A and B are shown apart, each in its own frame.
Chain A
């Protein structure tokens, strides 16, 4: 089944289009089959356990979420660098290990700093 790499990504593209088509088709079929036009009072209100919503729905949330998001960006980029390294690991000499220990060391120091500064504390 191995064809050219171009063909592989064509299949991936086909998966995206087919997925969108599938979602659209199911929602459309559901709309054709389902009943419509019932409007009992309160049916289109947000469901907050039967109590009428108080205030706007888009409330403020904890700043902690942003801190974690920033840390995530750093570490996710790191993993992207680590993957090609792991693939090449067996084919290269010991220097590849030393290089990666330095790289991981810098990141671990960064994590330790964030930890010390309290960025990892849920508040």
Chain B
């Protein structure tokens, strides 16, 4: 296979996955939130309302794209691209199976975090360019909370990197193969040392994604739709596609780091060789379970205030994450 063809196949596969995820997750969000609120969610368009989101995509495509008079035109046009392009790139290093990633980067974990950290710049650009006080507030909040929680998010996964001895996402999954005492799968989540690590990762991840209870940057009951207030048609669509796809990427990172990635518990390697779609299917299923938990949290918790949010990040999670790194180090060098 020629290299050009290989690159094109990867790009198209990832793009199709991203778009499918967007449509699937919006439908899933409506259904899950609906049932949590004891109502049905979409039911009218197609069987079980399945065609609701594809129709919504069509609607967004045919809506008039309004550019308000006062906006900063360049930034207003660039912002959706700065949000959407990194979220496509963030899929690149995800390991969907043994060696099955678009790019098998040695620095996969750092690459994914680095790419995701470009998103707040786009959100800040969108908030600033919109020439709207709600948008500006939303953009500033998004930037503040995302940079505040970037640090605990990056620090929290270090104990897992220390144990695995690699930053490559495929390598981290391999480090979780086998079992403890021939029964418990050797996933990092079964290691009690990494439980607080996972907790910090989960909280910081939710903040990074602007997910409820940390959706201060949108805060629809306070500042309309935050940074997205002035966006319409497909520019709005792209920003939301990026938001949902980042949710998938972060859930996939959690699965990779703590829940054994594409591996089933106790399954021998020959299974994955016999059925090539098994590994990606397991990986995506686990990721969707993570997404379901996020939606469950979204439907259950009220929004926090920004001073509470900042205190939790800087005064609790960062010291805790630093302490956990030292603790993991001491236990591995001194005790074991």
CB contacts (< 8 Å) of A107 on chain B: these are 322
Q: Is the CB of A83 within 8 A of B133?
A: no
What per-residue 1/0 map shows which CB atoms of B135-164 lie under 8 Å from chain A? 011001001100110110011001001110
CB contacts (< 8 Å) of B111 on chain A: these are 12
Q: Is the interface of A mostly helix, strand, loop or mixed?
A: helix
Number of A-B contacts (CB under 8 A): 209
B44 at the interface (CB under 8 A from A): no
Q: Is the CB of A104 within 8 A of B322?
A: yes
Q: Is the interface of B mostly helix, strand, loop or mixed?
A: helix
Q: Is the CB of B110 within 8 A of A83?
A: yes
Q: Is the CB of B143 within 8 A of A86?
A: no
B102 at the interface (CB under 8 A from A): yes
Count A interface residues, CB 8 Å.
67
CB contacts (< 8 Å) of A87 on chain B: these are 161, 165-167
Q: Is the CB of B147 within 8 A of A68?
A: yes
Q: List A residues 15-43 near B (Cβ within 8 Å).
A: 15-16, 18-20, 22-24, 26-27, 29-31, 33-36, 38, 43
CB contacts (< 8 Å) of A26 on chain B: these are 61, 234, 237-238
Q: Is the CB of B65 within 8 A of A34?
A: yes
Q: Is the CB of B99 within 8 A of A22?
A: no
Given contacts A49-B224, A89-B332, A8 and B147 within 8 Å (CB-CB): no
Q: Is the CB of A18 within 8 A of B165?
A: no
A10 CB to nearest chain B CB (Å): 7
Residue from A15, A20, A71, A72 whose CB has the most chain B CB atoms within 10 Å:
A15
A59 CB to nearest chain B CB (Å): 6
Given the complex of chains A and B, what is the CA–CA distance between A111 and B322 in angstroms?
Answer: 11
Q: Which residue of B92, B131, B151 contacts A15 across the interface (Cβ within 8 Å)?
A: B92
Given the complex of chains A and B, what is the CA–CA distance between A18 and B144 in angstroms?
Answer: 30
B85 at the interface (CB under 8 A from A): yes
Given the complex of chains A and B, what is the CA–CA distance between A45 and B67 in angstroms?
Answer: 9
Q: Is the CB of B61 within 8 A of A29?
A: yes
Nearest-CB residue, chain B, relative to A100: B329
Q: Which residue of A35, A47, A120 contacts B229 across the interface (Cβ within 8 Å)?
A: A47
B295 at the interface (CB under 8 A from A): no
Q: Is the CB of A7 within 8 A of B150?
A: no
Q: Is the CB of B85 within 8 A of A83?
A: no
A5 CB to nearest chain B CB (Å): 8
CB contacts (< 8 Å) of A94 on chain B: these are 333-334
B233 at the interface (CB under 8 A from A): yes
List 6 A–B pairs whose Cβ atoms lie within 8 Å, in order of A's numbering.
A26-B61, A57-B136, A65-B143, A69-B143, A87-B161, A89-B332
